[in-house]
Amino acid sequence: MTKARKNKESEWFGYRRVKPEEKTRRVVGVFDSVANKYDLMNDLMSGGIHRLWKNRFVQMMHPRASRALLDVAGGTGDIAFRYRAKAGDEARITVCDLNREMLKVGRDRAVDRGYLKGFEWVAGNAEKLPFDDCKFNLYSIAFGLRNVTHIDDALSEAYRVLKPGGEFFCLEFSHVKNAALRKLYDEYSFRVIPKIGETVAQDRESYQYLVESIRQFPKQAELAERMTEAGFEKIRVINLSGGIAAIHTGIRL
């Protein structure tokens, strides 16, 4: 990968050109705004299909208590709770999120579920994780990588904190393959989703950004290439719902 391509998304907040440090601040602001409505909005925007995607995503991790999980950008606990339900009471799960409001939502939900042990909630940036090398068996990031300012730095950090043999899992909105479906999806995304955000979350602008950020995210093959550049091997790409979302996996050998 050439230097010109590395972290090329860092200057774009949706379709607006910004400085990288401004993008990070704006992303924090978006999730401060939507934290309490985030999972409800996911249901409304996807018709609940995101739940099926997440179930498959976690199933692919083969959850076991012996496999320590780092879930990045997972502040509300959606992935972590699914993993815990499968791995059992002795599971070791660390949730790391840049946004403290999202972490607060996740911690409160963990208490509501009676999950009083086995979880660590850490405020941190995916681009510079506050963890030692070779610490985790699994790294997951769901619907978070496209909001990271420096994607290639985040991929390198994921590689660093995984143990040899550790596995990387990314679930993210992606690029629709079929032209007819893509046209329908674009129409829905740009016309309907911001209106839902305005009505339910009283925040049209944040959901306009989220729609635009999907279009700015690397296509499936490019993200796989960038994972290779970060050091991952045995990379797999699984399209969901025709490419509306995709799961990328890789291994640190």
DSSP 219: P
Residues 108-137, mean pLDDT to the nearest whole number: 97
pLDDT reported for residue 33: 85
- pLDDT over 90, % of the chain: 84
d(CA 43, CA 191): 17
Q: Cα(92)–Cα(226) distance, rounded to whole angstroms?
A: 29
- Topology of domain 8-251 in CATH is Rossmann fold (3.40.50)
pLDDT category, 5, cuts 50, 70, 90?
low
pLDDT band (50, 70, 90) for residue 4:
very low
Residue 150 predicted with pLDDT over 70: yes
**Residue 190 and residue 199: Cα distance in Å, rounded?**
15
Q: 231-251: per-residue pLDDT in tens?
A: 999 999 999 999 999 999 999
Length of the chain, in residues? 253
Q: Contact 157/231 with Cβ under 8 angstroms? A: no
pLDDT digits (tens, 9 = 90+) for 50-80: 999 999 999 999 999 999 999 999 999 999 9
Check pLDDT > 70 for residue 1: no
Q: At what angle do helices 193-200 and 38-46 cross, to 10 degrees?
A: 140
- Cα–Cα nearest to 67, from 123, 133, 140, 129: 140
- φ, ψ of residue 172 to 5 degrees: the values are -155, 150
Integer CA distances (angstroms), 209 to 124, 196, 213, in order: 22, 13, 6
- The separation between CA 167 and the C-alpha centre of its own chain, rounded to angstroms, equals 15
- Supply the pTM of this predicted model: 0.94
Label residue 34 by pLDDT band (50, 70, 90).
confident
136: left (phi over 0), alpha (psi -120 to 50) or beta: beta
Cα–Cα separations (whole angstroms), residue 225 to 96, 146, 222: 25, 16, 5
Compute the mean pLDDT over every residue in the chain, rounded to the nearest whole number: 93
